[in-house]
Amino acid sequence: MGAMSVDMSVELGGLKLSNPVLLASGTCGYGLELTPFLDLRRVGGVVVKGISLEPRDGNPPPRLAETPCGLLNSIGLENVGAERFLSSRLPQLLATGATVIVNILGSSAEEYAAIAARLRDAEGISALEVNISCPNVKAGGVAFGQDPRAAAQVVEAVRKEWGRTLIVKLSPNVTDVTEIARAVEAAGADAVSLINTLLGMAIDVEQRRPVLANTFGGLSGPAIRPVAVRMVWQTVRAVKIPVIGIGGIASARDALEFLLAGASAVQVGTATLADPGAAARIVEGIEEYMARHSITSVSGLAIGQVPGRRAGARFVWRLQ
């Protein structure tokens, strides 16, 4: 860091973070697995693996396939369930001094609300991140995140049970992500985070079958970064609540793309799998960049003053 001191703290819908770099859900386990490599107090916060009311086994293997600059996963939301998370994982994680955000999932609005209610009484959870990329069993399996009304219903249900910071994590597998962002903003979200994974698949041409047992998987990693930056740019210009940028961030430069696009914070996902210390490097690199560009606070990074909020999808005019 230069001689200049930079203020890395950010505020996200009532939640103060020491810096804007969070660990993304599903790529940092329950946080503890990372402690040999990373002091969890050096990142802004840890978003733990998606938790459901009951434990889930997850999908059969194979669950992973590497693709060019990307990773397909179909973990299938394996998790220890709310009870075991609260009794055995959370206390240890809090003991590290980490800021804890819990990613939650369900298959009905009621189930989401029930988890929020169960987590409410636990001390030390700073925020919930509601993963609405899950299939809505009542609506025949289409993800909540692909339908603005279903998304809003989940958020309203959780909002009733949860007074602290409420982040909603958006799916990129939609025609217009700003439509969903506006719907969850209206339903009471304090912030939105995006993007979750792009739906993809890979085929093993020698075995002549899909690589993943689940056929489809979620694509993450540097490959998806241009799509994520675009969606964050559009969403920042479509809602008033803070936006957390996610997707293919592996270096400070990558994180800065999102912060310059107007994101208030970022999450590092797949990069942590490839290099468990990635997030700490990114924090340092952002500090160094800010000092070099004489930018004293993270909120000063966004390009220009974000103008009047317009719907993002309409920007697209002439490609190719």
Ligand X SMILES: Cc1cc2nc3c(=O)[nH]c(=O)nc-3n(C[C@H](O)[C@H](O)[C@H](O)COP(=O)(O)O)c2cc1C
- CA proximity to 212, closest of 69, 60, 70: 60
The answer for residues whose C-beta is within 8 angstroms of residue 108's C-beta and 6 or more apart is 136, 137, 138
Round to whole Å and give the CA distance between 305 and 208.
Answer: 52
Binding track over 270-299 against other proteins, x by CB under 8 A: x-xxxxxx----------------------
Among 45, 145, 172, 221, the residue binding other proteins under the rule CB under 8 A is 221
Residue 55 CB, nearest approach to other proteins (Å):
9
* Cβ nearer to a second copy, comparing 147 with 190: 147
Degrees (nearest 5) of the Cα angle 61, 67, 68?
A: 165
The DSSP bridge partners found for residue 100 are 46, 125
Binding track over 52-81 against a second copy, x by CB under 8 A: ------xx-------xxxx-xxxxxx----
Residue 177, φ and ψ in degrees, nearest 5:
-65, -25
Does residue 237 belong to the site contacting a second copy (CB under 8 A)? Answer: no
Does residue 24 belong to the site contacting ligand X (CB under 6 A)? Answer: yes
Residue 129, φ and ψ in degrees, nearest 5:
-115, 115
Q: Which of 6, 32, 101, 134 is catalytic?
A: 134
Does residue 57 belong to the site contacting other proteins (CB under 8 A)? Answer: yes
Length of the chain as a residue count = 320
* Cβ nearer to ligand X, comparing 148 with 269: 269
Does residue 27 belong to the site contacting other proteins (CB under 8 A)? Answer: yes
Strand pairing of 217-220 and 70-73?
A: antiparallel
Binding track over 82-111 against ligand X, x by CB under 6 A: ---------------------x--------
Round to whole Å and give the CA distance between 130 and 148.
Answer: 14
Q: Is 134 a catalytic residue?
A: yes
* Cβ nearer to other proteins, comparing 15 with 34: 34
